[in-house]
Structure 1
Amino acid sequence: MLIRIRSKDGNFRFDLAPTADISELVAKILETTNNADLTTLAISNRPRGNETLVSTIKGSLQALGLSHGDLVFVSYKTLEDSAPKATPLAESSQTAQASGAVAKRPWELVQEDPVDTYWRSKDGKIPRGRDARFCKHGATGMCEYCMPLEPYDAAYHAEHNIKHLSFHAYLRKLTPTVSAATSSTALLPPLSQLSYVVKVPCPSGGHPPWPASICTACQPSAITLQSQPFRMVDHLEIASTDIIDRFLHAWRLTGTQRFGWLIGHYEPYEEVPMGVKAVVEAIHEPPQEGELDGVTLGLPWEDEPRIKDLARSAATPLQVVGYIFTDLEPEEENRALTKYKRHPQSFYLSSLEAVFAAHVQNTNPTPSKSSTTGLFGSRLVTAVLTGTADGGIDVSAYQVSEQACAMVEADMIEASVDPGIVRVKEEDRGEDSARYVPDVFFRYKNEYGLDVQKSAKPCFPVEYLLVNVSNGFPQNPSPAFRSAAFAIENRPGLEDQSIERVLRQLAELHAPDIPECSQGGDQRQRAALASWLSDWHLIAFLGMSQLVSPDDMKVFIRTATSPDLDDPTVLDALIRTDGWQTLMTFTRETTPARPATSAPSGSTHTPMDEDIPPEVFDQIARDSAGQGDGFASAGANERVCPHCTFVNTHGGSDCEICGLPLQG
């Protein structure tokens, strides 16, 4: 049932069950108060008089005579006003109770992403220079023609072709300017998550719960689909082109589609007022079965907790910021070109992909102090690698709206045969899967330019659920991971990860011979080892090799993602770990002995490679370790790996380090 509250903080409404205890109502009242003294909190059925202390009331709301729609008047004193009258014991009790009241406010316990903390510390104003035509003041003055604009200014967004407000600009539009006289009501979070699910039990308490019965108090309102005015992420940035190239390598070799989770972090995006961008540092590919026209995978994937924990331990903490998949098909006449499948006359995201995106966003909400539940929306981005009009390959990025997420959560929509159409499900009153579907409408302009409202049943265009996200690559790349040469996970038969390959590469890099920086050593070898180690796929594989402990893995990934990777001392903490020493022990045991250059004294045995000059072995060792200027070049009979620059001088079509096809 609905209980209305009126106090000096404002008017409030709470949905409570008739059988709810009075303590539940008191807890909700405390959420609206400002430092209330619980010993003075009283309620009444009149604006003046008949006040009763809540500490003396017990029982359910129904037993106390409260019914649906009743108005309750609340009065209290603040702790500062009543503190001199309180004994030390009562004071400590009040403090504990006040702490409990604060703990019941979910938005105050939220730990937001650093990018949210950054924008909350800024005013977000858009600066403007002095207008020579209209400004009549001096250089230090300001007028309406040159004063900064609000981050949600409509004219600025229209001029710069910005379709959606950024999330924090949208919050500034909803939140009034805070002042000393601002009431606690205005300071309450302005956002609440959309929900199209029937309220069970009904707040009125006047009928059996759904699906037996339903009323206006528990049923969701009619839905009008409309373009979302804001977006949670404004830009998707891929830190390096190598990330996409390595992801596409599987499709180029097999022709089957691939799926991967985007590992990265969020940063301020200055191209949009108070904008946020998702920076992708790696793509992790879960177990999957690629097909010519799609991908089959399971959710949640088994390795998800380990991967997320590993990403959080990076030098700059990383997280899953989205996912990417390929939708590529070669042209029939020219196999070197790709088909142009996603365009205005076709679709951008199919209805099946939009429903999947809503599922993923629902399971990855964003912590926010601006929501009454402490959670609002999601920043996970959907990225698609698809063909372009000129036969190339490009990235497109999207999110689905909050309406789409709420409709999927209420099991109201599903994919249709036509990829550009979403189907609205029929109502179901079954005991096992009760589904209530309210009226759904969408608006569009007809052939006469008139705004028309149309029922979305049984279907509507998928574009009403999409939010566009721009994307691109940085002008000056500075990726967290320097290498992408190691074999990628979950590509059986195409790229196989093995500890033997890791040990062989460590031996080729002379890793067992590299000491801590204070003990000297070849700095070029240290640099080559640091660059090789800075590979997401390598670090993720070592974490499941059972040779490195979880604590040591945190040191491994902090070293691999260190911004000071060129510092000679960056490897010292890694070398001191037990996990590294274990790897070095196995490397020494599995490394074959270097061929002898001459026979031992007094021996009658002649080695097979006695006639090979030692300079040849030295040259092979230098090329394997990546010494010199860092770029390998092929001779007449040599082949070069395009990814790790390893030079193969003794035959073979695949690189001995990363396993990729050689060139030359």
Structure 2
Amino acid sequence: MLVRIRSKDGNFRFDLAPTADVSELVAKILETTNNADPFTLAISNRPRGNETLVSTINGNLQTLGLSHGDLVFVSYKPREESAPEAATVAESSQTAHAGGAVAKRPWELVQEDPVDTYWRSKDGKIPRERDPRFCKHGPAGMCEYCMPLEPYDAAYHAEHSIKHLSYHAYIRKLTPKISATTSSTALLPPLSQLSYKVKVPCPSGGHPPWPASICTACQPSAITLQSQPFRMIDHLEIASTAIVDRFLHAWRRTGTQRFGWLIGHYEPYEEVPMGVKAVVEAIHEPPQEGELDGLSLGLPWEDEQQIKELARASAKPLQIVGYIFTDLEPEEKDRTRTMYKRHPQSFYLSSLEAIFAAHVQKANPTPLRSSDTGLFGSRLVTAVLTGTADGGIDVSAYQVSEQACAMVEADMIEASVDPGIVRVKEEDRSEDSARYVPDVFFRYKNEYGLDVQKSAKPCFPVEYLLVNVSNGFPQNPSPVFHSATFPIENRPGLENQSIEQVLRQLAELHAPDIPESSRGGDQRQRAALASWLSDWHLVAFLGTTQLISSDDMKVLIRTATSPNLDDPTVLDALIRTDGWQTLMTFTRETTPARPAGSGPSGPAHTAMDEDIPPELFDQIARDSAGQGGGFAAAGGSERVCPHCTFVNTHGGSDCEICGLPLQG
């Protein structure tokens, strides 16, 4: 069969047998190249992107999917330019092929989120019922009027006002149907990360690298800004209204703005074909300085890795799914109402906020098998608490497009004084900056309804970078964390966290007296303690006290996020840890002890101790200390009960607790 090759050395044709090994094709390609390094030789089904190293491909041409007349694009690096790189590739290749193993490509090593694994196992088709007007077949038949629709069907999305395709529907649209004649290059990942940076060094190798020189082979193409056809996340769901209320408490008390990271997980979102939603279970507030009209935030924050590891260890693994901030200002005439600042005539996200979102999304890519690098896009959501038209407070959610992330990475854009406008930076050829800015355009409809293209230099509307995300609360809330009473971190002066407060509350809950379920105990006390522990801010604080080891903290977070806190055994694993025993020791030492003579002396009288009213213990303590009528004040003899060791200083012959005769 005939295989066509296109490389920077020209166009070539090779006549090979369908059963020929791919190594034969590689050998013929190397004959046409000029000093090519075989370890950097890559093939693709298109001029740019989807390159696959031939060193990672095994099999013959037919099994790879190559058919008669297929065009294969070839790229490589000259031997002298890639000598160190070639040694590394050769080393890894030898390791990978040891014992007959095949080297895996980057996207094959990716461990995707469970929600991606779920959607990859589904066909995603939209079912339709039998149409009584057009369907002429029986109930078991199917025709074009009732057959399921593809998840990317444009008419369905328009009918249901779905502006963006979900990520997996978009991938399904790009991926060709698999058949026996499908080429191997067509089965490569359909996506590659967008980049507007100059390629250094230049692939042609014919001139000094940027900023000394530039050519069409290394410079980025012109950019046309357009609405992104897909979105990485389709819906933001906040598990409980209490989460937002606790977050707003700081603004209500101080009037300063607040920022928090959204801790949660991803789930399928059935309202959109093959959709994904982010479910928020808690808001963690990093160190920050709030102002009336903004805030200052440090990135990365001090406890970032610790918080991420703690979240991953929960019973249902959690992660950072986005961030939220307030932009609230009371009205001057009515302080009970908030100002309506973000609307179609103003802006939704300011240019500064959009650039910040691009920085955060670029730093947190999503592991996906649909990209040639194994990473693509980001699912981090930007949520804003802002005023509404009726003076209330509501949540708005957004992402920024892949174009926005690529422009920020290339240092092409900056914020402007007008929050609704983004500025395009000037080109800079200095060695410190070395910024290249290609032509940037955006399209819009003018007053005559005509589609017009306009240069984005020096500025363009921020809406071209935004992707809308719906949001809401569940109808039947079932949050992972059952409590929201512990003070929130990094609110000095407003809410203070202290270990003394934790120990005091543990004592009030009788935590030191709660044994493992196999030894009995009060189930109501056990359930109350489990519910109190199910608080993200409490667990995160205990992780900073150094009283509990990292391994024991994993047990604690799994206990706090257990789906069934009413289970009698839910606390058993935690009670057995050394960290919990240490915490209970501190609780006993900091809690006022009962007087020595006020309780039963033996284990056989445990039930009697539970029946004694607490007020009587207080009276015993006062009497033992000589307060309120002790032995000296009464002037009588002290008599003791031989059964429960109760000391009677008020006279009488019988014990006030058990009724047995007293001994003098």
Q: Could you tell me which residue of structure 2 aligns to residue 632 of structure 1?
A: none
Distance in 2 between residues matched to 1:94 and 1:584, nearest whole Å: 51
Query: What per-residue deviation string (whole Å, max 9, x for no partner) do you get for residues 456-504 of structure 1?
Result: 0000000000000000000000000001110000000100001000000
Separation of aligned partners in 2, 1:478 and 1:143: 41
Could you tell me which runs of 5 or more consecutive residues in structure 1 were left unpaired when the two chains were aligned: 42-46, 48-57, 64-91, 611-664
Q: For 1:329, what is the secondary structure of its paired residue?
A: coil
Letter in 1 for 2:315: A
- Counterpart of 2:468 in 1: which secondary structure? strand
- Please show how residues 624-635 of structure 1 align to structure 2 within 5 Å: none
Q: In the alignment, is residue 60 of structure 1 matched against residue 79 of structure 2?
A: yes
Let me know the Cα RMSD of the aligned residues: 2.9
Deviation per residue, 1:420-464 (Å, 9 max, x gap): 000000000011111000000000000000000000000000000
Q: Is the 8 A contact 1:37 1:94 kept in 2?
A: no
In 1, the alpha carbon distance for the partners of 2:623 and 2:172 equals 88
1:35 aligns with 2:58: yes
Aligned twin of 1:143: 143
What secondary structure, in the 3-state scheme, does the structure 2 residue paired with 1:263 have? strand
Check whether the contact 2:237–2:472 (CA below 8 A) recurs between aligned residues. yes
Q: What displacement does 1:599 show?
A: 4.1
Give the Cα separation in 2 of the matches to 1:361 and 1:384. Answer: 16
Aligned to 2:39: 23
SS in 2 for 1:186: helix
Shift in Å, 1:97: 8.3
Aligned to 1:564: 564
1:323, 1:383 within 8 Å by CA — same for their partners in 2? Answer: yes
Match in the other structure for 1:280: 280
Distance 1:329 1:3, change over 3 A: farther
1:288-327 equivalences in 2 (<5 Å): 288-327=288-327
Residue pairs, 1:583-594, within 5 angstroms: 583-594=583-594
Determine which of 95, 98, 116 is the counterpart of 1:96.
98
Give the AA of the match of 2:618: T
2:227 alignment counterpart: 227
Superposition deviation, residue 592 in structure 1 = 1.4
- Structure 1 or 2, whichever has the larger Rg, is 2
CA contact (8 A) 2:487 2:537 kept: yes
What is the CA deviation profile of residues 26-80 of structure 1, one whole-angstrom value per residue up to 9, with x for unaligned ones?
A: 7976549752389xx9xxxxx9xxxxxxxxxx982899xxxxxxxxxxxxxxxxx
Report if aligned partners of 2:415, 2:423 keep a CA contact under 8 Å in 1: yes
AA of the residue aligned to 1:24:
T
* 1:596-615 C-alpha deviation (Å, 9 max, x unpaired): 434479968125999xxxxx
Aligned length: 561
Letter in 2 for 1:25: L
Name the aligned partner's letter for residue 21 of structure 1: D
- Tell me if structure 2 keeps the 8 A contact 1:18–1:60: no
Give the letter aligned to residue 355 of structure 2.
V
State the one-letter code of the partner of 1:605: G
Aligned residue for 1:570, secondary structure, equals coil
Superposition deviation, residue 98 in structure 1: 6.4
The Cα shift of 1:184 comes to: 1.3
User: Aligned to 1:224, what secondary structure does the other structure show?
Assistant: strand
Partner of 1:648: none
Residue type of the alignment partner of 2:176: P
Equivalent residues of 2:41, 2:54 under 8 A apart: no
The DSSP-based 3-state class of the residue aligned with 1:397 is: strand
Partner secondary structure for residue 443 of structure 1: strand
Q: Separation in 2 of the partners of 1:570 and 1:343?
A: 48
CA contact 2:624–2:630 (8 Å) conserved in 1: no
Alpha-carbon separation, structure 2, partners of 1:315 and 1:531? 15
Match of 1:519 in 2: 519
d(CA) in 2 for partners of 1:35, 1:590: 69
SS of the residue aligned with 2:191? coil
Q: Which residue of 1 aligns with 2:130?
A: 130
Q: Which sits farther off after the overlay, 386-395 or 2-11?
A: 2-11
Contact 2:328 2:339 in 1 (8 A): yes
1:202 is aligned to 2:224: no
Amino acid at match of 1:267: E
CA contact (8 A) 1:288 1:295 kept: yes
- Tell whether 2:622 aligns with 1:606: no
Q: Offset of 1:271 from its aligned partner? A: 0.2
Maintained 8 Å contact 2:324/2:385: yes
* 1:228 Cα deviation after fit: 0.2
Letter in 2 for 1:383: A
Match of 2:374 in 1: 374
Which runs of structure 2 are paired with 1:468-487 in the superposition (5 Å)? Answer: 468-487=468-487
Are the equivalent residues in 2 in contact too, given 1:18–1:205 (CA < 8 A)? no
CA contact (8 A) 2:623 2:630 kept: no
Give the superposition deviation at 1:181: 3.4
Cα distance between partner residues in 1 of 2:270 and 2:151: 12
CA contact (8 A) 2:39 2:53 kept: no
Q: Secondary structure of the equivalent of 1:569?
A: coil
What is the rounded CA distance, in whole Å, between the counterparts of 2:622 and 2:230 in structure 1? 81
**Alpha-carbon shift at residue 96 of structure 1 (Å):** 3.0
Taking the aligned partners of 2:237 and 2:357, their CA distance within structure 1 comes to: 19
Tell me the equivalent position of 2:346: 346
1:94/1:343 CA distance change after superposition, 3 Å: closer
Establish whether residue 116 from structure 1 lines up as the match of residue 132 from structure 2: no
Q: Distance in 2 between matches of 1:537 and 1:6?
A: 66
1:534 aligns with 2:553: no
The secondary structure found in structure 2 opposite 1:526 is: helix
Tell me which residue corresponds to 1:446.
446
Amino acid at match of 1:181: T
- Report the 3-state secondary structure (helix = DSSP H, G, I; strand = E; otherwise coil) of the residue aligned with 1:196: coil
Contact preservation (8 Å) 1:34, 1:184: no
User: What's the TM-score, normalizing by structure 1?
Assistant: 0.80
For 2:387, give the aligned amino acid: G
Asked whether the equivalents of residues 509 and 525 of structure 1 are also in contact (C-alpha less than 8 Å), the reply is yes
Equivalence for 1:262: 262
Structure 2 vs 1, CA of residues 516 and 62 (structure 1 numbering), >3 Å: closer, same or farther?
closer
TM normalised by structure 2 equals: 0.80
- Listed as ranges, the gaps of 5+ residues in structure 2 are 1-6, 44-50, 70-76, 83-93, 595-614, 632-664
Cα 1:215–1:59 shift into 2, 3 Å: closer
Shift of 1:180: 3.6
| Structure 1 counterpart SS, 2:563 | coil
Mapping of residues 339-418 of structure 1, within 5 Å: 339-418=339-418
